[in-house]
């Protein structure tokens, strides 16, 4: 018989999204960006709020193109704090 177990998650850090800061620097609204990348407002809003569960690389490419930025400008890996 297979044992039941609890999934233990390690603290491996997280990815920070900087779309909000870039948009504010360039004075671009979520509606404007949604139109520029041909996406729904809700999609842009999830990126803007940093509430992504999964990343769509096509949307990432469109955002980079529309805002003339790189993935490094938008995404930052924040390592876990040592115990």
Q: Using one digit for the tens of pLDDT, what is the confidence trace for 4-33?
A: 666 677 788 899 999 999 999 999 999 999
Query: Is the separation of the CB atoms in 44 and 11 below 8 Å?
Result: no
Residue 3 has pLDDT above 70, yes or no: no
What is the per-residue pLDDT for 6? 63
- Which CATH class name applies to 17-78? mainly alpha
Domain spans of the chain?
A: 17-78
Nearest C-alpha neighbor of 69 from the set 31, 15, 33, 43: 33
Average pLDDT over residues 63-82: 95
Report the share of the chain in percent with pLDDT over 90.
Answer: 77
């Amino acid at each position: 018989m297979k044992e039941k177990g609890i999934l233990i998650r390690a603290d491996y850090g997280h990815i920070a999204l900087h779309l909000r800061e870039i948009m504010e620097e360039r004075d671009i609204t979520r509606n404007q960006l949604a139109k520029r990348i041909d996406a729904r407002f809700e999609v842009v809003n999830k990126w803007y709020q940093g509430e992504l569960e999964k990343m769509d690389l096509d949307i990432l490419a469109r955002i980079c193109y529309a805002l003339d930025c790189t993935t490094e400008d938008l995404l930052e890996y924040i390592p876990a704090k040592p115990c």
